[in-house]
C-alpha cells in the first residue's frame, strides 16, 4: 500500500490504485508523446529498468508483434524480485477483460480454488498416510464430523488447496478461493486482493486510533482508560510510530466502530467501517455465525461457525453484484441467495471483531477465521502488481496500442500464480500470531514526491 504524502490533496490517494501515468512517472520515465513512447524511451536508455513479462522477448516491440512465449511462473519470479525503480510490462495475452472478467467473477468452476474439494482434502498428510486403505474416504463439500475428524482448520485447508493446484496448468485463470457452507447450499467466496485491501483498512484504523485515542483517554481517567493508554503507548513505542503518525492524514472517521452490543452468544455483530474511497462514506457490516465460543467449547463448534460465516456489506454494491451471478445448484434461473462474497470492508470488520476477542473477554474466545492474511513478502508482490506493472492493450480492430494498469481480476490472477509457485506457507496465513507485527505495519510505504519516507 503506497501512500503519497501530499497535504494539498489530503487522503484522497491513500487507497487508490495507481493509473498508468502515475506508475510510469514513479519509475522515472521521461514524458513523451504517449505512455508507450515513454516506456520505450526508458527501455532504450536502460533496458534493465524494464522487465518484459514473457519469455524470449527482447523488447516491447516483440511483445506487440507476438514474438514471445508465455511463461507465467518465470514472470512471477521476476515480479517477486523487482526493485523500486523497475517497471513490468505484460503482453496483451494476459489481459482479462470483457466477458473473461465477467466469467471469472461469477465463480466459474475453472477459476475457483475450492477448499472443500476432494483434490484439496487429499493433500492432507493424514490422508496420504492412509490413502491405500481409504481411497474413497472423502466427498466434496464439508460435513461437521469430517471437519473434526480430519482437523480441517482454515490454515490446513488453505495450505492443502495451494498444494492441490501446484502442478496445474500455470496459465490457468483463477479468481478466488471458496467452499460450500455446511449449513446451506451457498458458496463462501474470498478474493486474495480483497483480503489484502481489508487488512489495509484495518491497519489505517490502528494508526488512527494510536493518533486519536491517547488524548481522549487522558481526559477520562480511571483504571480502564489507563490500561488502554498503556496498551497504545506500548504499540507506538514498538513501531516507533511517532516518526510517521504526524505525516498521516488520519482521524476518528478512519476508525472501525461497533454499532451495537454483540448478540447470539457474541456470534452476531454490527460494525461500522469507513469506505476506502471517501472517509465520509460508511459501510454497515452485519456479521453472523462468527466463530466465538466459551473456552470449554470443542473444536467442532468453532469450525462449524467458521465455515458458515455470513457477512453482509450494506455499503458495497460489489457484494450484491457478485453474489447474484452464480446460478442456484439446481440450475434454476434465480441466482443462489446463499452465496457470500467477503468484501474488503467486511474483512476489515472481521479483523476488528477478532481483535476485540484477542484477550478473550469474559471467558469467550474467537477461533481462526477462513480469511487469508498476507505475509509481508506477498504484500510486496501485490504492490509490484498495483504500482509497478502495466499491460499492453489494443482495443477493437485498430492497430493502435496503449498501456494501462492492471484491473482487479488481473491482479487476483497473478496473486494466485504466486500462491501456485511458492505455496500458502510462504504467502499467507489464517493465524494472526504467525504474522510478523512489524511486517504488517510495513504494508504501508509512504512517499513524498518520488522519495521514500523512512518511517519504519
Sign for the pseudo-dihedral over CA of 303, 305, 308, 312: negative
Which helix (H) or strand (E) is 112 found in, with range? strand 112-114
pLDDT at position 129 is 62
Q: Which residues contact 336 (CB under 8 A, 6 or more apart)?
A: 185, 186, 187, 323, 326, 327, 328, 329
**pLDDT band at residue 226 under the 50/70/90 scheme:** confident
What number is the average pLDDT over the span 61-85? 92
> In this predicted model, which residue has the larger pLDDT, 57 or 13?
57
pLDDT at position 92 is 92
The residue among 389, 375, 381, 371 whose CA lies nearest residue 418 is: 381
pLDDT at position 449 is 65
- Domain spans, the chain: 2-97+376-452, 192-374
pTM of the shown model: 0.91
**pLDDT band at residue 149 under the 50/70/90 scheme:** confident
Range from 6-10, 163-167, 389-393, 420-424 carrying the lowest mean pLDDT: 6-10
What number is the average pLDDT over the span 10-28? 81
For 126-268, where are the E strands, in sequence order? 176-180, 187-190, 257-258
> In this predicted model, which residue has the larger pLDDT, 331 or 428?
428
Is residue 54 a contact partner of residue 95, using CB atoms and an 8 Å limit?
A: no
Query: Does 44 score more than 50 pLDDT?
Result: yes
**pLDDT band at residue 452 under the 50/70/90 scheme:** low
> In this predicted model, which residue has the larger pLDDT, 130 or 239?
239
Query: Does 2 score more than 80 pLDDT?
Result: no
Query: Does 455 score more than 70 pLDDT?
Result: no
Average pLDDT of the chain to the nearest whole number: 85
For 41-90, where are the E strands, in sequence order? 50-52, 87-90
Range from 32-36, 61-65, 349-353 carrying the lowest mean pLDDT: 32-36
Is residue 77 a contact partner of residue 445, using CB atoms and an 8 Å limit?
A: no
pLDDT tens column, 353-396: 998 887 666 678 888 899 999 999 999 999 999 999 999 988 76
Is residue 394 a contact partner of residue 325, using CB atoms and an 8 Å limit?
A: no
Range from 104-113, 153-162, 406-415 carrying the lowest mean pLDDT: 104-113
pLDDT at position 320 is 77
Query: Does 332 score more than 70 pLDDT?
Result: no
Q: Which residues contact 256 (CB under 8 A, 6 or more apart)?
A: 201, 202, 205, 271, 272, 273, 274, 348, 349, 352
Is residue 101 a contact partner of residue 90, using CB atoms and an 8 Å limit?
A: no
pLDDT at position 288 is 92
What number is the average pLDDT over the span 416-432? 95
pLDDT at position 359 is 65
Phi, psi of 301 (to 5 degrees): -60, -45
**pLDDT band at residue 333 under the 50/70/90 scheme:** very low
What number is the average pLDDT over the span 211-234? 85
pLDDT tens column, 244-296: 888 888 888 899 999 988 888 888 999 999 988 887 889 999 999 998 887 65
Query: Does 417 score more than 90 pLDDT?
Result: yes
**pLDDT band at residue 28 under the 50/70/90 scheme:** confident
What number is the average pLDDT over the span 329-342? 65
pLDDT at position 11 is 63
Three-class SS state of 392? strand
Nearest-5° angle of CA 170, CA 171, CA 174?
90
pLDDT at position 268 is 92
> In this predicted model, which residue has the larger pLDDT, 199 or 32?
199
> In this predicted model, which residue has the larger pLDDT, 138 or 385?
385
Kind of pairing between the strands at 269-274 and 257-258: antiparallel
Amino acid at each position: 500500500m503506497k501512500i503519497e504524502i501530499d497535504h494539498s490533496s489530503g487522503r484522497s490517494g491513500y487507497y487508490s490504485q495507481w493509473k498508468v501515468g502515475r506508475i510510469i512517472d514513479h519509475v522515472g520515465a521521461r514524458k513523451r508523446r504517449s505512455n508507450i513512447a515513454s516506456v520505450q524511451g526508458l527501455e532504450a536508455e536502460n533496458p534493465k529498468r524494464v522487465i518484459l513479462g514473457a519469455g524470449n522477448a527482447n523488447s516491447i516491440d516483440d511483445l506487440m508483434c507476438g514474438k514471445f512465449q508465455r511463461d507465467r511462473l518465470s514472470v512471477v519470479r521476476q515480479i517477486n524480485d523487482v526493485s523500486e525503480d523497475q517497471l513490468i510490462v505484460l503482453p496483451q495475452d494476459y489481459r482479462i477483460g470483457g466477458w473473461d472478467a465477467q466469467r471469472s467473477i461469477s465463480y466459474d468452476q475453472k477459476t475457483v480454488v475450492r477448499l472443500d474439494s476432494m483434490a484439496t482434502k487429499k493433500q492432507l498428510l493424514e490422508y496420504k498416510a492412509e490413502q491405500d486403505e481409504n481411497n474413497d474416504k472423502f466427498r466434496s463439500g464439508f460435513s461437521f464430523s469430517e471437519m473434526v475428524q480430519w482437523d480441517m482448520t482454515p490454515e490446513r485447508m488453505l495450505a492443502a488447496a495451494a498444494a492441490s493446484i501446484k502442478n496445474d496448468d500455470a496459465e490457468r485463470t483463477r479468481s478466488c478461493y471458496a467452499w460450500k457452507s455446511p449449513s446451506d447450499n451457498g458458496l463462501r467466496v474470498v478474493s486474495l486482493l480483497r483480503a489484502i485491501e481489508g487488512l489495509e483498512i484495518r491497519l489505517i484504523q490502528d494508526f488512527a486510533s494510536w493518533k486519536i485515542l491517547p488524548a481522549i483517554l487522558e481526559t477520562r481517567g480511571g483504571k480502564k482508560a489507563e490500561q488502554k493508554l498503556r496498551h497504545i503507548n506500548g504499540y507506538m513505542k514498538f513501531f516507533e510510530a511517532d516518526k510517521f503518525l504526524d505525516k498521516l492524514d488520519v482521524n476518528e472517521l478512519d476508525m472501525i466502530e461497533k454499532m451495537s452490543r454483540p448478540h447470539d452468544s457474541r456470534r452476531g455483530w454490527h460494525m461500522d467501517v469507513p469506505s476506502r474511497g471517501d472517509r465520509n462514506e460508511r459501510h454497515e457490516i452485519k456479521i453472523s455465525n462468527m466463530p466465538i465460543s466459551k473456552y470449554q467449547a470443542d473444536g467442532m463448534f468453532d469450525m462449524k461457525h467458521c465455515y458458515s460465516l455470513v457477512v453482509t456489506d450494506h455499503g458495497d454494491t460489489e457484494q450484491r453484484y457478485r453474489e447474484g451471478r452464480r446460478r442456484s445448484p439446481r440450475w434454476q434461473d434465480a441466482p443462489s441467495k446463499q452465496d457470500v462474497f467477503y468484501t474488503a470492508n467486511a474483512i476489515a470488520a472481521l479483523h476488528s471483531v477478532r481483535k476485540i476477542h484477542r484477550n478473550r473477554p469474559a471467558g469467550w474466545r474467537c477461533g481462526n477465521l477462513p480469511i487469508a492474511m498476507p505475509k509481508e513478502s506477498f504484500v510486496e508482490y501485490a504492490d509490484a502488481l498495483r504500482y509497478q506493472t502495466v499491460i499492453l492493450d489494443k482495443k477493437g480492430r485498430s492497430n493502435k496500442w496503449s498501456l494501462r494498469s492492471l484491473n482487479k481480476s488481473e491482479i487476483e490472477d497473478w496473486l494466485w500464480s504466486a500462491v501456485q509457485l511458492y505455496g500458502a506457507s510462504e504467502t499467507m496465513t489464517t493465524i494472526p500470531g504467525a504474522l510478523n507485527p512489524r511486517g504488517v505495519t510495513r504494508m504501508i510505504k509512504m512517499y513524498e514526491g518520488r522519495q521514500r519516507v523512512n518511517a519504519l
